[in-house]
Every structure is written in structure tokens, then in C-alpha cells.
Amino acid sequence: MTEQSVIDVLPQAPFPSGGRLTFDLGEDRFVELSIHKLVKNNVVGRRTLPVSIWSLVGPYGIGRTWTMAWLGRQARYEDMGRDERWEAALVPGLGSDGSARAVFESIFRSTEYLREQVEEEVDEEEDWRSAAGQGTAEEEYLKHAVRDRESWAVLSGTASRFPDLETAAGKPKWTQRETQLEFLTLWFEKLNDIGVNNLLIFIDEFELLATSLSKTKLVELSDGLRSFFDKIETRSENLPNIQLILSLTPEGAADVEADYGAEGVEGWVRPLQSRMNTPIAFEKVDDDEAIEIAKVGIQKSRVGEFDDPYYPYTEDAVKEAVEACEGMPRNLSDLLNRMHQIALDEDRINSEIAQEAINSLDFGQEEVIL
């Protein structure tokens, strides 16, 4: 029997490159490691707090985004394995805006998948229907937003002004932070009404803001998150447990986390820091974990059934990639993908090809000092 070529067995590279934070990111290739169990245990443990703000800290390529996606799935589809309801809001990033308003609008956008359930609950609530025009302006506009995209568009950041409503005594000014926080709190109350006990809010790539915004904008953002914490804590009796989880590099954490910033932390974050819980830091994966990541990626991507867990890679080639990746999952996936690209028409991906890929990506190369 003629041996197949690499492209026959692996029509595509075994690891997807990049990817924004979504519920299905890395779903079929995710390998649960000891750090993930630690993070999950911390999430579950912090459900006793009415509101918490904390961060996942690690360098680029360590797997923070995939971890957030996994935690989101654990919350939304598995209820964290507990007898209570968990939901998750996934925010891929805040772009270059960096305002507290952008954070609040992103929460509305990322929880819109719950809007239909809230609408069904509202339609069944006789008290809320019969009380039209009797609530605050924010309450009346939230009722409208639940059913009508014209008002929801303001909350989610795709429109700037609310429409006119006969049932509302005045029109809220969405540009005002207190108005934004009031709407957000009322929305959380409706999530509580449909049985949501815990809501996880993940904000990915937060380091882009922490390291690039001007001090004025950082002060505004920090103060907005502090106000968010205080508002939720004050109204917590009728709200789900809320956890706001920020993804940060060590450099970004130095500007946000007291544990990382030490003496170099700027004063603008002090009020926010006093409200933040201890961060969780990612460490590099060990060789056994890296090999398991490689096996899963290869086996999920190849066509056919094979006894060799590495095929069409040789075991030696995978181990060389593991050594060269220096404990960084993204380096490992980039190496395995490059090896695949080089060897498409070969019958195996061997050590020679592994070295060619390593050299081309400059992994494992010691710095030469002249």
C-alpha cells in the first residue's frame, strides 16, 4: 500500500491561527490543564461575592483567550457543573476607545443572547405591563429596549439617542455615566428575574488599553470601573453575582494590578485596585502538557484512523517542537503549522523538517553577542 502524503492526512494546518473571543473558539482542540482547573475553582469560589473584578495575567501566546472561551462555555452550557445558573458575556476587546461607556455598551452587546428570554419573562409579568408609564425614565426605556431594537441600539452602542416614548417622563441622557450604570443595573435585575445566579463578564486584550491610553483616559476608565463595582455592590440583593474578568499581559498588569506594579503603579488606579481581587497568573506549560496539546491538535485535524498519535508527524519531530516552543502554546502551534506547510508533499513530518521550521521561526535560537 502506498503511503499517503502529509496533505492527504492533514488537508489543513492542525491549529487555527489567532481568533477573537467567541464561545466556540478552540472548542474542539482545547486541552484542560492544571491552570484551567485552578482558574475554574477561583471563579466558583468568588461567586459568594456580590461583585468582583480580577484579571488573568500572562504573556502573549500563553492561552488566555482560549481559557476565557472555555470558561464561557463552562458557564453558559455547563453551569460550571453546579446546581445553579451561570451565564457569560464575552467581550473580544474594546478597541482604542477605552472609555467606561464602551465597557458598559459591550456588556449589553455580549448579553443580547439573553434578551429573548427576558422579553418572554416581561410579557408574562402582568405587573410590569400594567405599570407602563409608572416607572422611572430608565425603567420605561428598558422595557422598550427589551422589545424594540431602536432603544436597544443605544444601550449596545450602535445608536446615540433614545427614541421618543409617550410612557416615559423624560428622555435619559445616555452620555451620563450614572444613566449608563442605572440601565446596566436594571438589566442585571431582569437577568436575575429569569433565574441567572452568576454572570461572568470577560474582557479580552485589556492590556491594549492599559498600555496605550493617555493618563486622562485611564483615569476615566479606572473611575468608571470603580463606579461599576460600587453600583453593583450597593444593589446586589436583586442581582446575579457579577464577575468582571480582565485579560492582561504582565506589562499591562503593571499598570493595573498592585501585585505586579509595585512601586511603579500610577496613582490613577489606586481606588480601583482596592476593589480588585487577586489576579491569576499563567505559567508556561511543561513538556507533558505541550505534548498533549500537540496530540489533540493533530488528531482532531487529520483524516483517517491511525494508531500512531503523532502521525503524520514523527514523535521525535513533535518533541523537538515542544522543546523549541519554550512552554508557549502559541509557539508550539506556530511550529507545528510551519512544519505542516513545509512537508505537504512528503510522507512524514520528521526531525529534519522540524529543524527547518524552528530555524525559519527563530525559536530556540540563542542570542549571539558579538
Closest C-alpha among 68, 6, 16 to residue 337:
16
Hey, is 52 helix, strand or coil? strand
Please state which of the ranges 129-143, 333-347, 355-369 shows the lowest mean pLDDT: 355-369
Please state which of the ranges 3-12, 182-191, 258-267 shows the lowest mean pLDDT: 258-267
Q: How far is the C-alpha of 363 from the C-alpha of 337, rounded, in Å?
A: 14
pLDDT at position 95, please? 74
Residue 275 has pLDDT above 90, yes or no: no
| Overall size of the chain counted in residues | 370
Q: Hey, where are the domains in the chain?
A: 6-17+285-361, 34-281
Q: How far is the C-alpha of 38 from the C-alpha of 16, rounded, in Å?
A: 26
Phi then psi dihedrals of residue 203, to 5 deg: -115, 110
Please state which of the ranges 178-187, 192-201, 204-213, 239-248 shows the lowest mean pLDDT: 204-213
Please state which of the ranges 92-101, 129-138, 273-282, 340-349 shows the lowest mean pLDDT: 129-138
Would you tell me the crossing angle of helices 315-325 and 329-342 to the nearest 10 degrees?
140
Percent of the chain with pLDDT over 70: 89
CB atoms within 10 A of CB 251: 14
Residue 263 has pLDDT above 70, yes or no: no
Residue 367 has pLDDT above 60, yes or no: no
pLDDT at position 127, please? 56
**Which grid cell sits at 186?**
436594571
Q: How far is the C-alpha of 223 from the C-alpha of 203, rounded, in Å?
A: 17
Percent of the chain with pLDDT over 90: 74
Cβ-contact 54, 276 below 8 angstroms: yes
Residue 338 has pLDDT above 60, yes or no: yes
Residue 178 has pLDDT above 90, yes or no: yes
Residue 124 has pLDDT above 70, yes or no: no
Kindly state the DSSP code that residue 211 receives in the 8-state scheme.
Answer: T
Specify the residue for cell string 492561552: 63
Mean pLDDT of 339-351: 96
Closest C-alpha among 326, 284, 271, 272 to residue 55:
272
CATH number of the domain located at residue range(s) 6-17+285-361 in this protein: 1.10.8
> Which pTM does this prediction carry?
0.90
Q: Name the residue type at position 346.
A: E
pLDDT at position 370, please? 30
pLDDT at position 128, please? 55
Q: How far is the C-alpha of 119 from the C-alpha of 220, rounded, in Å?
A: 33
Residue 368 has pLDDT above 70, yes or no: no
Q: Please, which pLDDT band fits residue 19 given cuts at 50, 70 and 90? A: confident
The predicted-structure confidence for 33-80, as pLDDT tens digits, reads as follows: 999 999 999 999 999 999 999 999 999 999 999 999 999 999 999 999
CB atoms within 10 A of CB 161: 12
Phi then psi dihedrals of residue 354, to 5 deg: -60, -45
Mean pLDDT of 334-355: 96
Specify the residue for cell string 476607545: 97
Q: Please, which pLDDT band fits residue 254 given cuts at 50, 70 and 90? A: confident
pLDDT at position 250, please? 86
Cβ-contact 239, 50 below 8 angstroms: yes
Mean per-residue pLDDT of the chain: 89
For the chain, state the CA radius of gyration. Answer: 24
Q: Please, which pLDDT band fits residue 131 given cuts at 50, 70 and 90? A: low
pLDDT at position 133, please? 56
Specify the residue for cell string 466558583: 44
Q: How far is the C-alpha of 22 from the C-alpha of 2, rounded, in Å?
A: 41
Beta bridge partners of 276: 53
Please state which of the ranges 32-41, 65-74, 187-196, 210-219 shows the lowest mean pLDDT: 210-219
pLDDT at position 125, please? 64
Question: Domain 34-281, CATH 3.40.50.300 — does that match?
Answer: yes
What is the DSSP code string of 67-110?
Answer: HHHHHHHHHHHHGGGSSS-EEEEEE---TTT--HHHHHHHHHHH
Cβ-contact 298, 310 below 8 angstroms: yes
Q: How far is the C-alpha of 125 from the C-alpha of 193, rounded, in Å?
A: 11
**CB contact set of 272 (below 8 Å; sequence gap of 6+):** 53, 222, 223, 225, 226, 229, 256
